[in-house]
Amino acid sequence: MRGLTMDYQLTVPAILRRAEALSGGVEIVSRRSDRTVHRYCYADMIRRAKRLAVALKALGVHPGDRVATLAWNHHQHLEAYFAIPSLGAVLHTLNLRLHADDLAYIVQDAGARVVIADRSLLPLFERFRGRVNVEHVIATSGGGELPDWALDYEALVAEEGAGDFEPPDLDERDAAAMCYSSGTTGRPKGALYSHRAIALLSMNWTAADTVGVGRRDVILAVVPMFHINGWGLPFTAAHVGAKLVLPGPYLDADSLLELIDTERVTVSAGVPTVWLDVLHTLDSRPGAYNVTSIRTLVIGGSAVPNALLRGYQERHGVTVMQAWGMTETTSLATVCPLPADLESAPIEKQYEWRTKQGVPMPFIEIRARGEGGLVPWDGETMGELEVRGPTVVSAYYNNPEAGSGFTDDHWLRTGDIVTIDSRGCVEIHDRAKDLIRSGGEWISSVALENALMGHPAVAEAAVIAVPHAEWGERPLAVVVLKPGHGASAEQLRQHLAPSFVKWWLPDGFEFVDRIPRTSTGKFLKSALRERFRQRSQES
CB-nearer residue toward ligand ADP: 391 or 414: 414
Q: Which of residues 500-519 bind ligand ADP (CB under 6 A)?
A: 518
Residue environment code for 89-100, b if the CB has 16+ CB neighbours within 10 A, otherwise e = bbbbbbbbbbee
Rounded to whole angstroms, how far apart are CA atoms 405 and 384? 12
431 binds ligand ADP (CB under 6 A): yes
Q: Which of 192, 298, 326, 463 binds ligand ADP (CB under 6 A)?
A: 326
Q: CB 273 → ligand ADP: shortest distance, Å?
A: 12
439: left (phi over 0), alpha (psi -120 to 50) or beta: left
Cα angle, residue 269 at apex, residues 281 and 451 outer, rounded to 5° = 60
301 binds ligand ADP (CB under 6 A): yes
Of 271, 266, 363, 364, whose CA–CA distance to 318 is shortest? 266
CA 114 to chain centre: 24
Q: CB 415 → ligand ADP: shortest distance, Å?
A: 6
229 binds ligand ADP (CB under 6 A): no
327 binds ligand ADP (CB under 6 A): yes
Quick check: 310 and 351 in contact, CB under 8 A?
yes
Phi/psi of residue 101, nearest 5 degrees: -65, -45
Stretch that binds ligand ADP, among 13-21, 107-115, 409-417, 483-491 (CB under 6 A): 409-417
How many Å from the N-terminal Cα to the C-terminal Cα in the chain?
A: 73
Cα angle, residue 532 at apex, residues 527 and 533 outer, rounded to 5° = 95
233 binds ligand ADP (CB under 6 A): no
Q: CB 322 → ligand ADP: shortest distance, Å?
A: 5
Q: Which of 419, 444, 445, 520 binds ligand ADP (CB under 6 A)?
A: 520
Residue nearest to ligand ADP (CB): 182
Sign of CA dihedral 98, 104, 109, 115: positive
CB-nearer residue toward ligand ADP: 229 or 327: 327
Rounded to whole angstroms, how far apart are CA atoms 6 and 3? 9
Q: Which of 522, 525, 529, 535 binds ligand ADP (CB under 6 A)?
A: 522
182 binds ligand ADP (CB under 6 A): yes
Number of Cβ within 10 Å of residue 479's Cβ equals: 24
414 binds ligand ADP (CB under 6 A): yes
359 binds ligand ADP (CB under 6 A): no
Q: Which of 303, 478, 492, 528 binds ligand ADP (CB under 6 A)?
A: 303
CB-nearer residue toward ligand ADP: 105 or 324: 324
224 binds ligand ADP (CB under 6 A): no
CB-nearer residue toward ligand ADP: 30 or 445: 445
416 binds ligand ADP (CB under 6 A): yes
CA 178 to chain centre: 14
Number of residues near ligand ADP (by CB under 6 A): 23
Q: Where are the beta strands (DSSP E) in 277-376?
A: 296-300, 320-326, 331-335, 359-360, 365-370, 373-374
428 binds ligand ADP (CB under 6 A): yes
Q: Are strands 218-220 and 112-117 parallel, antiparallel or unpaired?
A: unpaired
Stretch that binds ligand ADP, among 41-49, 59-67, 181-189, 208-216 (CB under 6 A): 181-189
300 binds ligand ADP (CB under 6 A): yes
Q: Are strands 112-117 and 90-93 parallel, antiparallel or unpaired?
A: unpaired
Q: Which parts of this chain interact with ligand ADP (CB under 6 A)?
A: 181-182, 184, 300-304, 322-327, 357, 414-416, 428, 431, 518, 520, 522
